[in-house]
Structures are given as structure tokens and as C-alpha cells.
């Protein structure tokens, strides 16, 4: 026998009398090498209470058997033990403290383990890593879980490495001073953290075997984080923090994060949902054991608006849903997409609530797609359904595969439940769809068949194309709905059965560089726009549309518009593509994002019904998308000849990330800034782990017109995107921002929420000179549901975006004026940037034309103008807001020509501005004084 000492505390006790000390300690980390295998076991903290029912050995090594309560009833006590080993087999010996009268079952049954029972001793062997439930006398409330792990590779050593921050057992602040360290190492023993452990980008957290760390874990806007080891994260004393604003907490919470790896650890007694990636990507969860949930609403793994998530080799026993895939702005604050999610090689057990494998109920998003459940053992389903899809909102749930699923024990009434309906959790008024769901090689083992049902909502929101391949129930191959007790309610079509397995092809994939989010697609028909008077959008069914529908607005006239609002997961610069439905009733439109034109006006008029996506996607330009609320607008600018109307057919917007330049953000914590407030009003600092600095401010304003004003120091003169993260609560009012005594700007903030929550608002662009500025939040009213008018603020941020795109303004679409008696006309021309340009029939020196345009963000701009040159053109002097800019421009050319002129740089405030061209003369060869302008461009 060989001992490998890997803990510093144990090395300090190394003496010739080691074996005597070992007996005093009881358990320690050591490796036992036999001819067959290397076995690694770990110490247990002295404060841990061993499970009273079981003693366990692996070969000759004793394992400590931990104890945890299970189910809502306090009577259930599950024992669990773990070890690592190399190549097997190894022999497991379990001794009970009670008589074995009704046999032993070891699950999952697919492991093929039949134990030998002699008196109170159970013996069996394992050859490969496996997670097992050992159930004696049919008592599954007091079972034994055994976790046989592979031996760790590349684990950090407890050897004083310079890049590792070592933590001895004890109570620690959650505000870790990482310094230059990249790894946080919890040594064996009990660690109590005061608050949630928030892990920043590029950091690792390692739990040595025998470490029990009492905390919650979170990442916010983080990349490249790893949490791993053989220790336990214990939520018994963790705070109940309502991350989602609706009395739901979470144990592990990954928010807008990417490349997150969690591996090897045990989660015990979760204070909420076990693990929740929200608006995150490239999350890998491997060999995690989640046990000990005892109270209601304790889901296992909830994947919310996230992509490229892999869950592999987990063991989950929880009170509620074992796994649930969602798309919900109520939870994430976004309308993102959950896709490319794979759950495989895992064991599920749900208890008193929920379902074993759920997609739903919150599906307030456009799509849930490319979901794979593969090689899953569902050893106990004690509530809800074994497999369920509950579409409670407007999402299209499609392309879901259940492959090689084994169901062992079903104590509820339903096998499969698939429905589209309104539920308690519903947020959308529109219903969604369910389609292309495949069940392949499903083995429902119990002899008693539980019923299943499928239900659509109406003909446009149906359940369609459900395929069963090689479904076995109670040993019988199922070839019909009646044979499996499947009730097909209205609006369910194309349910097919085959006795043969299917050939499974991988989902179409999108490979992205590390850290770069996947394209976002916003479906037109799923938006609820705010339109000009008399205009509204309806959803129109069409099989050729991206999700079988598109949005249609029957505008009445030029200058009508529709505003759409949405949030995005990741801020940055995106290429914007439009999918549109063409017909002979369509108009010409200008697309704007956050008040700035994106590209030129475009026409979707056609003599036939067609989709731009069928002939290649239509790129309209580049836009900066905010993580907070975004506004995009379609404005009618006219109609082409032959069109009978101004209608818009809007299928989707596709945003492809560019991120060619970094974003610089200045962050101002509200609790750290000088402030003043309405006389008699007091600012207090609240503490909360979900606040950015674990703190936020609250001002007890009590009526409209009252305010709080923060002093913000700006280090350099630039144009900034202004944002504020607010603390919502039941007593919050509505309020707006003004800067340096200027007009109120941005969205009105409604801070009312039934419980504490956070939301970031984009409040506009501002050109700010270096120095101190005042940011005032003034109460404008309150939500009827609010109990007060208070203001809650977490932080203010100023974001400078080098990649903010230039704004292209088509002159023919702008408000225009001219000197008396002169007419501004639009001339169509294939050489013009938008297919047309503007002319004015000026006839002498001193006459002019003037165009008005709107600037969404204040700042320094380079103003450019594209002009049409011709034999009858004038010489003009440009002016901006009454002041000349640049030099005169000679527009004469012997034949038609197009030329862009850089007029100069001018500081423009947010708002309306005017460009005037004044005739100062003409070229000797010119026959007239006409001015012709194609477009303006504002370059930040």
C-alpha cells in the first residue's frame, strides 16, 4: 500500500508515527495502489455528520459517507460517498445498520450491476466511472449514492504556487482580493463565505477533495471561468437571494457569460435552482452531482436564453424539474434564443414537483431549437411528466431530439406531456408552436404504461411532425398512439411511428470565434410595435417565412412608422440583415436603429410574392446594439411606381456581430459618488450581492418633481453612450435623467417590481467635456402597482464606442426649405446612393436650399456631402446651423458626375440641425445656378 500526501495540513503532521495520527484523524486523502487500480479517497471535515445507515469500502479503503436530507419531507436522509480510481475493476462493500429484507436495486439499471447480498453486506464491482443509487428494501428516501470518478488530471497542487491563492478552512469575505493570482484553492475543511462568490473573467476556483464551501456562485459578464475539483459546494446556509425578481433564487448563476466550465464537484442542499446559465454561451458542465434539495421550486439545471451549452455525465436529484430549457425575458431581461444545447450521459431523479426533462414553461422568445437529450437514465419520476414540452409563450420550439433514453420508475400519471397554452408563467399574448420533435430508441421499462398527451392551441399555433422511432414500453415496441395511451387533442398533426431506429444527423452548426456571440434573429411577427396613428401590425401565415409567419403593417401614407423595442444579450457593432416579404403593395422604407439611419431607403415592392432570403440575405448596414433596450423603426418614405400601397412585410432582422473595436466603459458606483437631493430627502446605501459592488443607493423621494443628483467626473472629452443600472423594488417610482441641467432624456425608468431586481437602461448619447457633470434623476410619477416614489440606482456607466457607425442621411428624405419662389424636387437616378437625389431650381446668387436632420447623439462629427455635378450647376457655400463650414464647392461638370465632399468637423448636440447651401456664383462654363444634393454622412 502506498500513501500520497497532497494536503499541506497533513504534511505538517508527517511523523514516523503517521499511522497512529491517521487513526486519530479518521479519514484523509490518500491513494491506494493495487495490482488492479489506483484509488484516491478524500478526508471529511470533522464537523460533518456521517450517514447513520451505511458504511462503505472500495477495495480496502474506507469511504466517509456524508448525509443530506432529501424531498420536502424531513424524514428522508440520503447517504453519499465518492472516490476516484483508474482502471478497474474495484470492489465496493456496503454495510447497512439494518436488516436487508426486500432486496437491493442498483440504478441506473443500464449499469448492469447485480450485487451480492449476505446478511447486512452488499458487494459489487465497478470497472468505469459511474454515478449510482443503491436502494435497499425499496426505500428510495434513504438510499445511498456512490460517485465513482476518474482520477483528476492537471489539478493544481497545494505546493505554494505563485499563481494560486490558497484558502484555509474558516470564514472568508466573498470579496476576494485576487491580486495577480488566477486560481482560488479551497483546502480540505469547512469554508463559510459571507456572501455569493462572484468569479471574474479568467479566474479558476478549485475545491480540493474534503473541502466543503458554504456559498452561492455567480459570474456576471465574465469569460473563461473554471470551477472544478472534488469538493462540495454546500447551500445549507447560503442566502436566499432572489436573482430573478420573482422569489426564485439560484445556487450557480452565470449571467451574460461565456466559456464557463464546471467539473467534478458535488452540489449539496441548493438554496434555489441548482445551476442557471442566463444569456450565456459555451457553458460546459461535466460530472457534477446535485443532491439534497428539500424545499419546493428547486429546479436542477435551467438553461435560459443561452447557446452552446453542454451538460455531460451529471447526477441530479431535485425536488422540481431536473432540467428545464427556457427563453424568457422575465428571467433574463432579454428575448434571446436557447439553442445548441446538449444533455448527455446523465442520470435524472425528480421528486415532489416539476418534470424530469422539461422545455418550458417560460418561452418568451423567438426560437428554442437544436436541443439534444442523449443517453439519459431517468431512474425516478415522482412528479409531473417524464418528458414535457410546455410552450407558455410565443416561441417556436423545434428540432428537439430525445435519443437513447431509459425510464426506470414512474410514480406519476404521465409519460409525455406536450402542449401550447396559457400558464401561470406566461408573459406573451401570442402563442407559439412546437414542431420537429424526434424520439429515438426510448425504453420505458415499467410494465404499467402511463398515459401521454399532446395539445395545440389553434390552427396557427399547433404541434406538428412528432416522430417516434423504436419506442419500447414495458418490453413492447410501440407503433401507434393508442398503444402508448397517447391522447391527441386538437391542433396536433403528423404524429408518426416506426419500429426501427432512426439515423441521427447532427444539427446544422455555427462555429464562432471564442467569446463572440452567435447571430441574433428577431422575428418580425413576434414583436409588438408602437406605430403611427391608424397603423398596426398583424401576423400573416406563410410557409416560406422563416418561422412560417411574417409581420405585416398596412401603412396609410409617407412618414408613417412603426417602432419596435427589444433587448440584446451582448452590446457591440453588428451587421444588420433584413428578411422581408415582397409583393406589389409594398412601400419604400428607411430603417433606423436607436435613432440613427442604417443604410439607405429600400424597396420591397415586387410584382410577385417573394422573400429576400430566397435570393440571399439583404444587408442594410451596420448598427451599434445596446445590451439595454434598443429601438428600431421602419419609416415610410414613399412607394415605387406600380405599387398599390405602402405596406411593410417584415419577416425578421438578423444581427451578425462584428466587434472589430473594443468598447471602453467608465463605471460610476452610485454609492461612491457625491450627491445632493431634494431638501429633506435622504440617500441610503443598501447591500445586496447582486449589486455590481455589492451595494446600491435608495433615495426616499415621495412625490413627482423630487430628485437625486450625482456628481460624475469625466476624464476626457468624448461622445458617450449613457446607461444606468437601477435597483427595482415594490416602492420605486418612475423617473428620468437630465444631465447638466439639460432636458430630460432617454427612456422613463419604471422602478416598480414586486421584489428586488436589477435592470440596465440605455439613456441616450451625450457629448461630455472633461470635468465634472451633474446627473439628475427626477421623479415623474409612479406605477399603479408601486407603493411609493423612491429612486434606486446601482451605477451609471459611460460607454465610448469607437466602432459606432456613421449615419447616412438621404437628402431626398429630409425636410427641406428653399428661398422664395424656388422648388425642391426629387429626381430618380440609378447613380444616386438611394436611387434618387434632391434638386432646387435656384437661379441667381444669394438663393439657397436648406435641409433639416436629426442627431441622436451629441458629439464631434465630420460632415460629408455627396453632390450631383452637371452642366447647369452652381457654386455653393455650405453652412451648418447658420455658420459657414468648409470652402465653396463648384458643382459644374460637362457631364453627369458624382462627388463626395468633406465639408468639415462640427460639434453637434443631440437634436435637430440644418445644412444650408448658399449660391455664391457659377463656373464660367455653367449654364445655370441649380443645386443638386444626393446624401449627407455624419462620421463620429
Regarding predicted confidence, which is higher, 715 or 409? Answer: 409
For residue 789, pLDDT beyond 90:
yes
Q: What is the pLDDT of residue 73?
A: 54
- State the SS3 of 455-481: ECCECCECEEEEEEEEEEECCEECCCC
pLDDT band at 240 (very low <50, low <70, confident <90, very high): low
DSSP summary character for residue 514 = T
Evaluate whether 354 touches 138 at the Cβ level (below 8 Å).
Answer: no
More confident residue, 869 or 938: 869
Mean pLDDT taken over the chain: 84
**CA angle in degrees (0–180, nearest 5) for 370-371-373:** 145
Predicted local confidence at residue 517, as pLDDT: 58
> Is pLDDT at 31 greater than 80 in this prediction?
no
Question: How far is it, in rounded angstroms, from Cα 607 to Cα 294?
Answer: 64
With 70 as the cut, is the pLDDT of residue 801 above it? no
Give the contacts of 525 (CB within 8 A, at least 6 positions apart): 537, 539, 540, 545, 547, 549, 550, 551, 650, 651
Percent of the chain with pLDDT over 70: 86
Using the structure block, give the residue that is written with the C-alpha cell 424526434.
438
CA distance 371 to 625: 27
Mean pLDDT of 380-385: 88
Among the ranges given (52-56, 211-215, 422-426), the one the predictor scored with the smallest mean pLDDT? 422-426
* Cβ atoms < 10 Å from Cβ of 64: 22
Is residue 918 pLDDT above 90, yes or no? yes
Per-residue pLDDT, 11: 32
Average pLDDT over residues 496-509: 85
pLDDT interval class at 32 (50, 70, 90): low
Q: What is the pLDDT of residue 92?
A: 97
Please give the average per-residue pLDDT across 713-733, as a whole number. Answer: 84
617-645 pLDDT tens trace: 677 877 777 655 677 899 998 887 767 78
Cβ atoms within 10 Å of 835's Cβ, excluding its own: 17
From 268-277, 279-288, 801-810, the region with the lowest mean pLDDT: 801-810
The mean per-residue pLDDT over the stretch 737-742 comes to 89
Query: For residues 717 and 769, is the Cβ–Cβ distance under 8 A?
Result: yes
Are the C-beta atoms of residues 415 and 386 closer than 8 Å to each other? Answer: yes
pLDDT in tens, 58-75: 999 999 999 998 875 557
Cis peptide, bond prior to residue 656, ω within 30 of zero: no
Amino acid at each position: 500500500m502506498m500513501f500520497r500526501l497532497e494536503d499541506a495540513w497533513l504534511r505538517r503532521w508527517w511523523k514516523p508515527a503517521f499511522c497512529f495520527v491517521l487513526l486519530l484523524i479518521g479519514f484523509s486523502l490518500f491513494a491506494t495502489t493495487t495490482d488492479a487500480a489506483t484509488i484516491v479517497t478524500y478526508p471529511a471535515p470533522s464537523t460533518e455528520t456521517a450517514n447513520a445507515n451505511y458504511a462503505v469500502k472500495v477495495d480496502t479503503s474506507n469511504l466517509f459517507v456524508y448525509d443530506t436530507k432529501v424531498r420536502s419531507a424531513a424524514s428522508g436522509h440520503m447517504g453519499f460517498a465518492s472516490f476516484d480510481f483508474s482502471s478497474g475493476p474495484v470492489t465496493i462493500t456496503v454495510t447497512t445498520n439494518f436488516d436487508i429484507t426486500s432486496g437491493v436495486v442498483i440504478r441506473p439499471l443500464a449499469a448492469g450491476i447485480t450485487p451480492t447480498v449476505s446478511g447486512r453486506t452488499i458487494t459489487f464491482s465497478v470497472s468505469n466511472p459511474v454515478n449510482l443509487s443503491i436502494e435497499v428494501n425499496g426505500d428510495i428516501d434513504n438510499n445511498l449514492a456512490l460517485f465513482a470518478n476518474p482520477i483528476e488530471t492537471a489539478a493544481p497542487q497545494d505546493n505554494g504556487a505563485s499563481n494560486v491563492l490558497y484558502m484555509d478552512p474558516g470564514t472568508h469575505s466573498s470579496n476576494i482580493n485576487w491580486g495577480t493570482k488566477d486560481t482560488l484553492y479551497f483546502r480540505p475543511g469547512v469554508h463559510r463565505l459571507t456572501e455569493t462568490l462572484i468569479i471574474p473573467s479568467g479566474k479558476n476556483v478549485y475545491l480540493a477533495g474534503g473541502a466543503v464551501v458554504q456559498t452561492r456562485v455567480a459570474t456576471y459578464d465574465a469569460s473563461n471561468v473554471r470551477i472544478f475539483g472534488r469538493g462540495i459546494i454546500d447551500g445549507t446556509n447560503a442566502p436566499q437571494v432572489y436573482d430573478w425578481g420573482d422569489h426564485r433564487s439560484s445556487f450557480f448563476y452565470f449571467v451574460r457569460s461565456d466559456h464557463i466550465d464546471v467539473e467534478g464537484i458535488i452540489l449539496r442542499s441548493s438554496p434555489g435552482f441548482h445551476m442557471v446559465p442566463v444569456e450565456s454561451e459555451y457553458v460546459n458542465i461535466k460530472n457534477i452531482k446535485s443532491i439534497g434539495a428539500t424545499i419546493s421550486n428547486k429546479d436542477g439545471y435551467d438553461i435560459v436564453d443561452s447557446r452552446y451549452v453542454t451538460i455531460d455525465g451529471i447526477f441530479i436529484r431535485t425536488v422540481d424539474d431536473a432540467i428545464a430549457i427556457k427563453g424568457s425575458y422575465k428571467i433574463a431581461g432579454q428575448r434571446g434564443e436557447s439553442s445548441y444545447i446538449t444533455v448527455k450521459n446523465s442520470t435524472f431523479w425528480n421528486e415532489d414537483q416539476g418534470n424530469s426533462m422539461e422545455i418550458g414553461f417560460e418561452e418568451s422568445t423567438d426560437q428554442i431549437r437544436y436541443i439534444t437529450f442523449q443517453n439519459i437514465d431517468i431512474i425516478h419520476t415522482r412528479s409531473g411528466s417524464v418528458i414535457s414540452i410546455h410552450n407558455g409563450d410565443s416561441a417556436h420550439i423545434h428540432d428537439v431530439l430525445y435519443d437513447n433514453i431509459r425510464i426506470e420508475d414512474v410514480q406519476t400519471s404521465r409519460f409525455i406531456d406536450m402542449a401550447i397554452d396559457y400558464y401561470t408563467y406566461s408573459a406573451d399574448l401570442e402563442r407559439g408552436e412546437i414542431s420537429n420533435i424526434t424520439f429515438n430508441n426510448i425504453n420505458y421499462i415499467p410494465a404499467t404504461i402511463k398515459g401521454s398527451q399532446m395539445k395545440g392551441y389553434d390552427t396557427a399555433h399547433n404541434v406538428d411532425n412528432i416522430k417516434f422511432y423504436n419506442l419500447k414500453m414495458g418490453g413492447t415496441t410501440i407503433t401507434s398512439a393508442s398503444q402508448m395511451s397517447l391522447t391527441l387533442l386538437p391542433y396536433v398533426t403528423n404524429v408518426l411511428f416506426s419500429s426501427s431506429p432512426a439515423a441521427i444527423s447532427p444539427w446544422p452548426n455555427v462555429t464562432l470565434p471564442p467569446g463572440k456571440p452567435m447571430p441574433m434573429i428577431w422575428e418580425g411577427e413576434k414583436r409588438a410595435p408602437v406605430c403611427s396613428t391608424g397603423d398596426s401590425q398583424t401576423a400573416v401565415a406563410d410557409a416560406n417565412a422563416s418561422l412560417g409567419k411574417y409581420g405585416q403593417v398596412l401603412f396609410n401614407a409617407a412618414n408613417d412608422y412603426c417602432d419596435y423595442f427589444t433587448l440584446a444579450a451582448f452590446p457591440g457593432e453588428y451587421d444588420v440583415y433584413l428578411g422581408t416579404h415582397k409583393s406589389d403593395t409594398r412601400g419604400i422604407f428607411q430603417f433606423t436603429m436607436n435613432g440613427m439611419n442604417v443604410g439607405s431607403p429600400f424597396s420591397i415592392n415586387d410584382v410577385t410574392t417573394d422573400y429576400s432570403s430566397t435570393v440571399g440575405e439583404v444587408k442594410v448596414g451596420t448598427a451599434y446594439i445596446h445590451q439595454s433596450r434598443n429601438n428600431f423603426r421602419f419609416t415610410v418614405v414613399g412607394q415605387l411606381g406600380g405599387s398599390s400601397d405602402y405596406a411593410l412585410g417584415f419577416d425578421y432582422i438578423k444581427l451578425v456581430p462584428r466587434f472589430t473595436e473594443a468598447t471602453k466603459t467608465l463605471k460610476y458606483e452610485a454609492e461612491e459618488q457625491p450627491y445632493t437631493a431634494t431638501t429633506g430627502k435622504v440617500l441610503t446605501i443598501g447591500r445586496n450581492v447582486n449589486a455590481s459592488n455589492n451595494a446600491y443607493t435608495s433615495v426616499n423621494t415621495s412625490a413627482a418633481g423630487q430628485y437625486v443628483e450625482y456628481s460624475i467626473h469625466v476624464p476626457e472629452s468624448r461622445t458617450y453612450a449613457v446607461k444606468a443600472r437601477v435597483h427595482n423594488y415594490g416602492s420605486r417610482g418612475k423617473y428620468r435623467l437630465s444631465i447638466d441641467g439639460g432636458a430630460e432624456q432617454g427612456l422613463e425608468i419604471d422602478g416598480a417590481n414586486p421584489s428586488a431586481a436589477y435592470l440596465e437602461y440605455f439613456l441616450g448619447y451625450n457629448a461630455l467635456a472633461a470635468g465634472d457633470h451633474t446627473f439628475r434623476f427626477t421623479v415623474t410619477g409612479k406605477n399603479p402597482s408601486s407603493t411609493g416614489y423612491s429612486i434606486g440606482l446601482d451605477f451609471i456607466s459611460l460607454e465610448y464606442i469607437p466602432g459606432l457607425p456613421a449615419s447616412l442621411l438621404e437628402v431626398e428624405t429630409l425636410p427641406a426649405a428653399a428661398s422664395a419662389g424656388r422648388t425642391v424636387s426629387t429626381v430618380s437616378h440609378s447613380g444616386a446612393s438611394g436611387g434618387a437625389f434632391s434638386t432646387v431650381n435656384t437661379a441667381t446668387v444669394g438663393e439657397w436650399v436648406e435641409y433639416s436632420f436629426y442627431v441622436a447623439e451629441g458629439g464631434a462629427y465630420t460632415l460629408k456631402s455627396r453632390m450631383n455635378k452637371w452642366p447647369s450647376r452652381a457654386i455653393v457655400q455650405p453652412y451648418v446651423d447658420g455658420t459657414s463650414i468648409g470652402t465653396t464647392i463648384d458643382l459644374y461638370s460637362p457631364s453627369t458626375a458624382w462627388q463626395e465632399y468633406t465639408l468639415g468637423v462640427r460639434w453637434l448636440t443631440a437634436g435637430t440641425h440644418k445644412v444650408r447651401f448658399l449660391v455664391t456664383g457659377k463656373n464660367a462654363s455653367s449654364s445655370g445656378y441649380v443645386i443638386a444634393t444626393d446624401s449627407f454622412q455624419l462620421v463620429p
